[in-house]
Amino acid sequence: MSLTFIAPPLQQINSEIARRAGVDLYVLRLDLMHPLVNGNKWFKLKYNLLEAKEKNFTTLLTFGGAYSNHIYATAAAGNLFGFRTIGVIRGEERLPLNPTLTFAVQQGMQLVYLNREMYRQRNTPALEEYLRQRFGEVFIIPEGGSNLNGVRGCTEIIDRAMPTAGYAYAFDHICVASGTATTLAGIALSLHEGQRAIAFSVLKNGAFLAQEIESLLTNYLASDLPTPYSSPASWELVCDYHFSGYAKVNNELILFSQQFTQEHGVPLDYVYTAKMFYGVMDLLQHGFFCKGDRLLLVHTGGLQGNVGMEERLQRFSKI
Ligand SMILES: *Cc1c(COP(=O)(O)O)cnc(C)c1O
C-alpha cells in the first residue's frame, strides 16, 4: 500500500521569545505530507488500513464528530486505497452539510448519524454488533484511529519522518497536541535516551490522559507489535492550554494563531496545533525549558477544520 507522500519538512522558527530563552525551535510539518491525507491521522490509519486489506475487508467503518479530521482523512484514504467507507457521525444530521462532511461525501463516504447517547456506546460490543447487522462485514476503526495500530503508526513519526537519518536524536523535547494521546504514545515509544515527549491536552480536565497514556504504553508493550527502541518511554502531560475545552477558542487564541502564521509562515488549526504552539511559547516565557534545549513541535495537521471553524466564528460574531 503506498501513497506518494513528501517527506515532511523540518522548519526552524526564528522567534524572539525562543532566542531569549536560549532554545532552538523546529516544526515538523506533517501537514504538508499529502494534500488530503496528512498530519497524524495518516500515521494512525496506516496499519489499520493494512490490517483491513490483509483480512480482505472491503469496507471501513469509523466514528467522529461533524468536523472531525479523522473522518476527513478516512474518507480520503479509503477512496485512494479502494475501500468503501462509512462514517458514523455524532449527533443529528444538519443540512447543508458542513465543509468536512461535504468533502467526506465527495470522497464516497456514506454518512450515518447516531444520537449522543448511542454514540457514547461506540466502543461496546453491543453497538459494534448493531453496526455489523446493519452494514454487514465492516472493518471498524475506533474514533480518531485510536487503537494499537494507531500507536504503531505514530512510532514512525519522528524517526522515519525526519529528513536526514539520525536527525531525530537532535531534539530534547518533542511537543504534540493531544486529544486521545495515541499520537503521544507512539512518539514516546520511539524516543532515544534523554529525549522526552510532551503532550498538550486540548481537552478540559485533561489530567485523565495520564492514565490513558500509561495504559496505551502498557498494552502496546504487552502486544507483539514492534517497538523501535527499548529505552523506557519518557513523557510529560501539560493541561493548562485547553482554552476552556475541546474546539473552544477565544480572541487571544485566534489572535495568537493569526500572528504566528503571519510571522513564521506556519498555518495552525484552532482545535489542536494553535493550543500546543501557544502553550510552548508561554512555557518558553516562563522558563520551563533550559538554555540550549532543542524543541521539536509536531504539526499534526488538521487545517481542514479551520474552514468550518471560521464559518462558525463569523456566525457568532454576527449575533
Ligand atoms: C486528532 C488530532 C490530534 C490528536 O491526536 P491524538 O492521537 O488523539 O492525541 C492532534 N492534532 C490534530 C491536528 C489532530 O487532528
Q: Please check whether residue 79 is in contact with residue 108, taking contact to mean a CB–CB distance below 8 angstroms.
A: yes
pLDDT digits (tens, 9 = 90+) for 45-69: 999 999 999 999 999 999 999 999 9
The grid coordinates of residue 183 equal: 499520537
Report the percentage of the chain scoring pLDDT > 90.
85
Separation of CA 57 and ligand 1 centre (Å): 26
Neighbours of 149 (CB within 10 A): 22
Q: Please check whether residue 160 is in contact with residue 33, taking contact to mean a CB–CB distance below 8 angstroms.
A: no
Mutate to test the pocket of ligand 1, among 67, 220, 300 (most ligand atoms within 8 A of CB): 300
Q: Please check whether residue 40 is in contact with residue 300, taking contact to mean a CB–CB distance below 8 angstroms.
A: yes
CA distance 23 to 294: 6
pLDDT digits (tens, 9 = 90+) for 21-40: 999 999 999 999 999 998 99
Beta strands in the chain (DSSP E): 10-12, 24-29, 59-64, 84-90, 110-114, 139-141, 173-178, 196-201, 235-238, 294-299
- Prediction pTM value: 0.95
pLDDT score of 318 more than 70: no
Neighbours of 221 (CB within 10 A): 13
pLDDT digits (tens, 9 = 90+) for 241-276: 999 999 999 999 999 999 999 999 999 999 999 999
Separation of CA 318 and ligand 1 centre (Å): 30
Q: Is 93 helix (H, G, I), strand (E, B) or coil?
A: coil
- Tell me how long the chain is: 319
Phi, psi of 260 (to 5 degrees): -60, -45
- Of ligand 1's atoms, which has the minimum distance to the CA of residue 183? 7
CA distance 219 to 85: 28
CA distance 129 to 236: 37
Kindly indicate the confidence band of residue 44, based on its pLDDT and cuts at 50, 70 and 90: very high
In the chain the domains, ranked by start, together with CATH numbers, are: 10-36+149-318 (3.40.50.1100), 40-145 (3.40.50.1100)
Which amino acid, one-letter code, is at 243?
Answer: F
Which amino acid, one-letter code, is at 268?
Answer: L
Separation of CA 182 and ligand 1 centre (Å): 8
Indicate the DSSP class of residue 233. Answer: P
Residue 314 has what pLDDT? 84
- Binding pocket residue ranges, ligand 1, CB within 6 Å: 39-41, 69, 144, 146, 177-184, 269, 272-273, 300-302
Separation of CA 319 and ligand 1 centre (Å): 31
